[in-house]
Amino acid sequence: MIYFDNAATTPLSKVAINTMIDLMSTVYGNPSSTHHHGREASKILRQARLTISQALRTNPKNILFTSGGTESNNTVLKGYALKHQDLGKHIITTTIEHHSVLEPLHYLASQFGFDITFIEPVEGKIRVEDIEQALRPDTILVSTMFANNETGYLLPIKEIGQLLRNHPAKFHVDAVQAIGKIPVYPEELGIDFLSASAHKFHGPKGVGFLYTKDLDFENLLHGGDQEDKKRASTENLISIAGMAAALQEDITQMDTNLTHVQNLYQELIKGLDGIHYYLNEEDPHLPYVLNLGIPGKANDLLLMQLDIAGISISTGSACTAGAIEPSHVLSSLYGKDSPRLNESFRISFSDQNTIQEIQTFTKTLKEILGE
């Protein structure tokens, strides 16, 4: 079996598995308890927070543990917007965002009267000048992703951060697809909020974090005083430790992993020689994700044929798998009537994939296409 759907989720790394197994049998106290077992758990929690903060070059107090990217995005968009709606009710985002950004914004618009501006890509790219033109005195948030989950396109984060230094609007970045793969330092990029999810960088599912620096927002969860009174609920200690271990390993091996994945990408392009295909991508581009289409070949049928052959790919975001509607990302890029919407599919790599798997994939694809 060959797995090329790492943008949906990655396999757990050995270091994450071993870290979690060790803690499962030795550390079971509540981090909020003051006795020995609680202090032992609290120490693990502090170490994980320190590890993640060092990866982002920030202070540990700026890291808030969550259940993943969706909760982190919802916390920022709902929590900050509702807390500061007296300053304005205008938010800017793009049409190519993940649904965990788009849906909270639709909620804010329908239930609280927020005005959302959706920036459309031009020739495949989000332009900083379009965001600048959309800014208003009542704009309180700008929310964009770091890397698109369907095409790998890298948005101009640094330039947007520089733009907003002269505006009171806060900058939220959904960095779920970028963390652990390329350097992401929010304070150097002018980012105020940053969302991440462990299962995208070989950590466990159901855990993530939110970077937030000295900013006040409405809590989504109420109850205890965990996470500096910003997120009630006993911390998912085992998963948090696994997440920190996975991220630390990815950060340590980042250059090596990136070079390996770039080689995988180039091997795939080379192996596609002889096939009539097109790429759905723009530079700058994350090599971990490749989106392509075969003219006249239905992507759902191709996915099924490859699945039968033991190869897992995707036609888009896992959060919308099975949906009747085609990809909103490709629709924004090429128009809702483009044949690309029903022909395109996504191949996404991790450092665990091999050149041999790429060669098997291209050979199998050519057999299916009769090339």
Using CA atoms, how far apart are residues 114 and 215, in angstroms rounded to an integer?
20
Structure tokens at 267: 């091997």
Nearest Cα neighbor of 228 from 60, 76, 361 is: 60
Annotation says 341 is catalytic: no
DSSP state of 57: T
Torsions phi, psi for 115 (to 5 deg) = -105, 115
Contact call for residues 186 and 215 (beta carbons, < 8 A): no
229: three-class secondary structure by DSSP: helix
Counting every residue, how long is the chain?
371
Q: What are the residue ranges of helices labelled H in 57-126?
A: 69-74, 81-83, 99-112
Using CA atoms, how far apart are residues 165 and 230, in angstroms rounded to an integer?
26
Contact call for residues 209 and 199 (beta carbons, < 8 A): no
249: three-class secondary structure by DSSP: helix
User: 319, 355, 368, 369: which is the annotated catalytic residue?
Assistant: 319
Nearest Cα neighbor of 168 from 90, 231, 114 is: 90
- Tell me the catalytic residues: 319
